[in-house]
Amino acid sequence: MSRYTRLFDRLARERRGALVPFAVLGYPTPARSLAWIEALLPHADALELGLPFSDPIADGPVIQTASHEALAAGARIDSGLATVSRLRAEHPELPIGLLVYANLVYQPGPERFYRQVEAAGADSVLIPDVPAEEAGPYVAAARQAGLAAVLIAPPNAPEATLALIAKLGSGYTYVVSRSGVTGTERGAGRPQARLFETLRALGAPPGLVGFGISSPADVRAALAQGADGVIVGSSLIEKSRDPARLESHLHALAQATLRTVD
């Protein structure tokens, strides 16, 4: 049984949605990145970690800036995977996913890249600039390495695309709350309950909502529509230099994951 399966089974018993913080590996510097990520863990059910990339097209200005700062400070794939290895050694049951742009996978070759990721101790890889219709070779390489391949479900996806996501995806499904990029400047959208119902009927992995989740109200709204949890990034990075504000924000988000109705 995978770490994701154990997590979602446990959360169902606890009547909670998952709170999954996102962090850029190497931010604010490679030397300080582990401490920053560790600060998120008291309220984290899983982690999504991004390898910094020069042109993160799916990300808004906050995460773009964090990625550029990490690269300028010397962050690279090897240093990011070293941080993943340390997290895995210290937190053996924590699901850890990577968000990676396709160039970083394509350049060394998917097979080699996924072997490196598996050796570091990650559970899944999400490539936001590869749609489900083009994901086959990456999914095959991930499966060969024993990793989950996370796919993105857009808010306006036709049922044929959702069926493909259900067939190829594993770990969890990244449900986009709205069109555009990540960030808090526009707030979260409201994926329709029908989208989650369709994904479940097709047998897709549990759905986590991302893009614009920045407040307890956003969390509660996502869960009310049928999400199994949320991914939060930009609002955490904005508070990363103020430990007290960060802790208070994380606590409020975690409280909002408690389900009061079925």
| CATH code for the structural domain at 3-256 | 3.20.20.70
Is 9 catalytic? The answer is no
pLDDT of residue 56: 65
Distances, alpha carbon 131 to alpha carbons 139, 151, 152, 154, 169, in Å? 11, 8, 7, 10, 11
Overall size of the chain counted in residues = 262
**With contact defined as beta carbons under 8 Å apart, do 192 and 177 qualify?**
no
pLDDT digits (tens, 9 = 90+) for 49-58: 999 988 766 6
Mean pLDDT check: name the lowest of 63-77, 167-181, 184-198, 228-242: 184-198
What's the rounded Cα separation, in Å, for the pair 96 and 3?
Answer: 9
What's the rounded Cα separation, in Å, for the pair 92 and 88?
Answer: 5
For a pLDDT cut of 70, what percent of the chain falls above it?
92
Which one of the listed residues 45, 48, 123, 218 is annotated catalytic? 48
The domain ranges of the chain are 3-256
pLDDT digits (tens, 9 = 90+) for 200-233: 999 999 999 998 799 999 999 999 999 999 999 9
pLDDT at residue 44 greater than cutoff 80: yes
**With contact defined as beta carbons under 8 Å apart, do 18 and 90 qualify?**
no
Is 262 catalytic? The answer is no
pTM of this prediction? 0.92
pLDDT digits (tens, 9 = 90+) for 73-84: 999 999 999 999
Cα 150 from chain centroid? 9
Which one of the listed residues 59, 123, 218, 228 is annotated catalytic? 59
